[in-house]
Amino acid sequence: MNIKDYSGISLNKKFFPMVRDTEYQNITSGGIRTITCIGYLCSFLRESLITEMNYPAFLMIDTVGKYLGKTQDKYRDETSANADYLEGVSDPSKYQNIFEYIINLSEQFESKQKICQIILVDNDVPEKIVEDLSGFIVAHFSSERRNGLPVGFIDDADLQ
C-alpha cells in the first residue's frame, strides 16, 4: 500500500502488527496506523485464500481516508501532524492504492471461485477515485445532499 520504509514488519507476542520494529499502538502517524491496520486485516483475508482457516471472508472498513490527508482538527490529538507530513500520507495515490489493492484481493477470491464480501465506507472520497472506481461503488450518499445524492443512514437517523 506504499509506505516509505516498510522494514521491521512483524507481529508482536500479542499478534499486533509492528512496523519499523514499532508496535502498532506506538506509531505516531495516523496515516501509517491506518495503512498498517488495513494491511493487517487484508493479510488475514488473503491468507484465507491459500490456507484452510476459520476466518470469515468478510471485511468492513469505515473511514478509510480519516488519516490519509483528510484528518479533521478534532482528531489532531490522535495523530502527529509532523509524522503524517514526513510519511507523506496525504498523497492521494496512497488512498487510491488501498482501494485498488482491496479490489484486486476480491478479484483473487473470484478467480479461485471463492466468495468474499468487502465493504468500504468513507465520506468525501476524492473525485478521481470515484471516477476511476465508479464500477465498484454500490451506494453513494451525502450528508449535505450534494449533487442530489440521498442522505446516508447515520445522517438520516439524525433527521428523525
Question: Domain limits of the chain?
Answer: 10-122
State the maximum Cα–Cα separation within the chain, in Å, rounded to a whole number. 50
* Residue 157 clears pLDDT 60, i.e. is over it: no
* pLDDT band per the 50, 70, 90 thresholds, residue 86: confident
* Residue 58 clears pLDDT 90, i.e. is over it: yes
**Mean pLDDT score, 70-81:** 58
Residue-level length of the chain: 160
Q: Which residues contact 42 (CB under 8 A, 6 or more apart)?
A: 59, 101, 102, 105
pLDDT digits (tens, 9 = 90+) for 25-55: 998 888 888 889 999 999 999 999 999 999 9
* Residue 103 clears pLDDT 80, i.e. is over it: yes
**Is the model more confident about 159 or about 65?**
65
* pLDDT band per the 50, 70, 90 thresholds, residue 132: confident
What per-residue confidence (pLDDT) applies to 74? 55
